Amino acid sequence: MSKPTIDNYESEHTKFMRELFAKRPHLIEQQKEARAIWWDKKVNQEELKRFNESEVPQKSYVYFDWLQK
């Protein structure tokens, strides 16, 4: 067996996940569904615009306000 190099190295976790998905292909779809709960959401442009417009600028170095007094 040859030593792993950067070109052919595969972590134990990556190997485990690849083998798991090969044995149980239905998990791929379940993973996508679970990811969609928190990620891959469409952005509401109106809400994003309102959020950006309501931002209040913060003074830099707020922890050093005592220097300005």
Q: Would you say residue 3 lies in a domain?
A: no
Q: How many domains does the chain have?
A: 1
Q: Across the chain, what does the average pLDDT equal?
A: 84
The pTM for the full model equals 0.46
For the stretch 17-45, pLDDT in tens is: 999 999 999 999 999 998 888 877 788 99
Radius of gyration of the chain measured on its C-alpha atoms: 24
Q: What is the per-residue DSSP string for the chain?
A: -PPP-TTT---HHHHHHHHHHHH-THHHHHHHHHHHHHSSPPP-HHHHHHHHHTPPP--S-GGGGGGT-
Residue 48 in domain: yes
Give me the domain span that covers residue 50.
12-67
Does 20 fall in a domain? yes
